[in-house]
Each structure stands twice: as C-alpha cells, then as structure tokens.
Amino acid sequence: QLGKEGIMYFPFIFSLFTFILMLNLFSMLPYSFAVTSHFVWTLYFSLSICLGIFFLGILKHGIHFFKLFVLDVPLFLAPMMIILEILSYIIRTFSLSIRLSANILAGHTLVHIIADFVVVMSNLKFLLVFLPFLLLLAIFVLELGVACLQAYIFVILVCMYLNDSIHLADH
C-alpha cells in the first residue's frame, strides 16, 4: 500500500493492527468490555490518527500538500470541488470510526440476543436447546472472524490515507 517509503511506518501499522485486534478479541471474552464498540472511543482514536496523517503530509510536502484538495476541473467548478474534497477528507475520520464501532456493536448484540435465547430454551427439553446452542457457536465463530477482519480493514484504510499524505495521490 505504501511503497518503499512506507517501510518506516511498518511498526506503527503493525502495532495499530495488533492493538485493535487484541481489543476486539478480548471483548469476546465473557463479562468483558467491548471498547471498540463505543463510537466515542473509536472516533477519538481515528481522529488522532487522521490528524497525525494530515500533519505528516504538511510536514513532508509543506504548502504543496493542499494540492490534494485541488482537482483538475474547469475553473467555475473548482470552488465547489475544493469544498467537497475537504469534506470528504474530514468524513474519512467518521467513516473509519463508525465502521469499526458499528460492526463490533452489531456482532456483540447478535451474540447477546442468541445467548439469551439459548438460556430461555435451556429450560425446555435437551433437543430444543441443542439447535440454538449450535447457532450461538456458529455466530460466535463468525464474530471472531469479524473481529480479525475489522482490525485488518481499519489498518488497510489507515494505510490508504497515509499513502495519500506521503505520495500526494491523484484523484
């Protein structure tokens, strides 16, 4: 994603992936707290990362970094496109945090609802509790996969945003 210049960011990217993955996996333990399902935490986290990437771009390219927001369009469209590009750059922060928190929250809610159903069904006969328990197990395994996938997606998007700041990608 980042090319040869991006190798110096590998420790940051790897530790970011490991940190989010561990938070997601630890939240799957019984009676644990799902940090990444809270929008405020993920917004703070993604805001600090996106601001860091923004300032990195300014430090690396100076005033030329703002070429990222100026597209090659007719002159009468340029003011509107600059505003749209700035808004899309700001919205990156929100989409990064909403994506992580919504997916983790949805999965945990589903696991909780199915687990409550299994508890209610456990008062009935054994055959009736076996099928919901298998469903709970399947959803739990799926949720483990989602925890890994969300950490991967978060890091890939950060790499894409970092790539824009390092290389001043054309839009």
What is the pTM (predicted TM-score) of this model? 0.84
User: Amino acid letter at 87?
Assistant: L
Spatial CA neighbour of 2 closest among 146, 80, 11:
11
pLDDT (tens digit per residue) in 142-157: 999 999 999 999 999 9
pLDDT (tens digit per residue) in 91-145: 999 999 999 999 999 988 888 888 888 877 777 766 667 777 788 888 889 999 9
* First vs last C-alpha separation in the chain: 16
Share of the chain above pLDDT 70, in %: 95
Q: Is the pLDDT of residue 18 over 90?
A: yes
The pLDDT of residue 24 is 92
pLDDT (tens digit per residue) in 58-87: 898 888 888 777 777 788 887 888 888 889
Burial 58-86 (b: 16+ CB within 10 A, else e): eeebeeebeebbeeeeeeeeeeebeeebe
Rounded to whole angstroms, the Cα distance separating 78 from 164 reads 20
The pLDDT of residue 171 is 43
DSSP codes joined into one string, 63-104: GGGGGGG--S--GGGHHHHHHHHHHHHHHHHHHHHHHHHHHH
Spatial CA neighbour of 120 closest among 107, 104, 136, 106:
136
- Place 89 in a pLDDT band, splitting at 50, 70 and 90: confident
